[in-house]
Structure 1
């Protein structure tokens, strides 16, 4: 079967690999000159099934107000007359209930856990390397209130069988020795030993090479202008290289997916939430992180990627703006310097931002649509890297007429009633 995948981020490339491995004739189209040059380029580096939770939850609206009043705020909302942003925000607020949180998490955890298992199998089968480490995630708490608040999270982790450890200062220093210098700033930590880390950009590029080895074709520097349809089916994709045709089409364009499919009458509640990162060269490995540390106060992740430290965070609602704002950089520099003052040289850090495709319920949109030969893979938010391999396997199974190994009823766009 001829398959056209739109987008070569980590999601689109994963789909291309698994679909090509399943024997399909795959073509990938992207406007960039190579894979993973947009949202997948500089993310925080976490493969974190243990943190697969919706942003919308009980108490979040009150916390959001507190966050926006902080000097180094994890949340920034630009006042814009954008009806889509405000509609998305209201939909997110509607999900800030105990019932909605439980339902949404029950949909997110299986795809995240499955994806991690797929990623491990991929490493075993292919020896793919991408500065990967399997040393877990450490969530650091600066206040006793934050530490006490882990009780609800731990109950959920128990419910889904996610391994966890609650650590005191000696405990988290044993896991992350470089924190010995700054341990007094924290009262404790929650460790998720099953989580992993890795460079998403390196992974995606190497997976693209492997997909090409299986026969997949990547058409880069190719602008996607729209979809041609007839009789309720897609008949082709209009591009700067002409009309491209296939039997099945997969839209994996992140935050830009809703714009592409809107003319088909498909309304996807996906909105861009900008995230920032800095990448810091390590100057003293003994004083750098071993894996990923999440600063709960600032919602910033600090991750070891080979000889670099990746620092990622901030949720900024600013439409499709890719402006690099210096206050966001200051927050990231503050956190990494506060945790690991001797680890890296922030003066030599590179600064980046990307648009995370977020749904109001936190759950990605994966699977079939009312358009007969169109599949979707978007809305992964901050968990695209975490859920990529599993998404690729699910879509490849659907393309092959097989039932996916995990239930996907709650992952399709049908949950929105459209």
Structure 2
């Protein structure tokens, strides 16, 4: 057994992408100076939870964290996948934080993945589970991932600060992705959405829908927003409500926006036991409708939150050219491009398109193959 050589990284930023790319490229990493000068130094609960999740779905994966949590070593193993796995994501970040790395790793694992995740299903920080189901999973299909065996079931909702939600994610395995040329964003033909409410009156949902439709119906007639009011066990442990919207275009693009309103977690600046005022449902509906219109106006085949995942999927394609169009590059997207270059050696050619204000990116994929999947 030779000595393991670790790629040295510093700081806590983009930890999720670093771990995902480290696993995909089988590159051991050592991360130092994690919030070393903070009042609370070291890894946050959700980051430790993500490391434990990677251990759960992999074989021979080694994680060593120092006592203060300001430094750790991660040696990726073989991603095994497997059925009937369960992981508690905790309540410091929503389940959406864990879904993106899971779904990408699931495609390249030895066996199809089926895992139950527990925690917060909807909050204002991470993409909510509804958006993941209605936009992120269809995005994978553009790259040749079969619909069969790819699904997300929302079994119960959980709002911050105490969560209590559960979802069941299933991911099939593939041999490799397919390169894409995806630059036609099309025109918006319909808007779909879903509202949720837990431990509050279902009237909140009707108010949000009425406010959002008030804006959309001036622009197009085909707007349907469904309600999902949960009660009892399925409503989790905290009151909250929110909305997830998806604009579907004539060329099969899904542009999303979502938000959720709930009482703050203690670490988000909310004091335990302090009575806070929640944002009125009408304002939530109007604000999220405006956010969605803003995303559509920026152009591109995906919205800002999905840029990182889109770039990653292009970089994992066979050694063939992928060409995509996005709106204004978000910070997350730019950081993901840098990490893809560092871990996979894939560089994107970036060309602004002044006539539309969008950006066209091209790359040759790294040719990642799932060696455990037999060619059919």
TM-score of Structure 1 vs Structure 2, range by shorter chain: under 0.3
Give me the TM-score of the superposition, normalised by structure 1. 0.24
Q: Which has the higher contact order (CA 8 A, sep 6+)?
A: 1
- Greater helix fraction, Structure 1 or Structure 2: 1
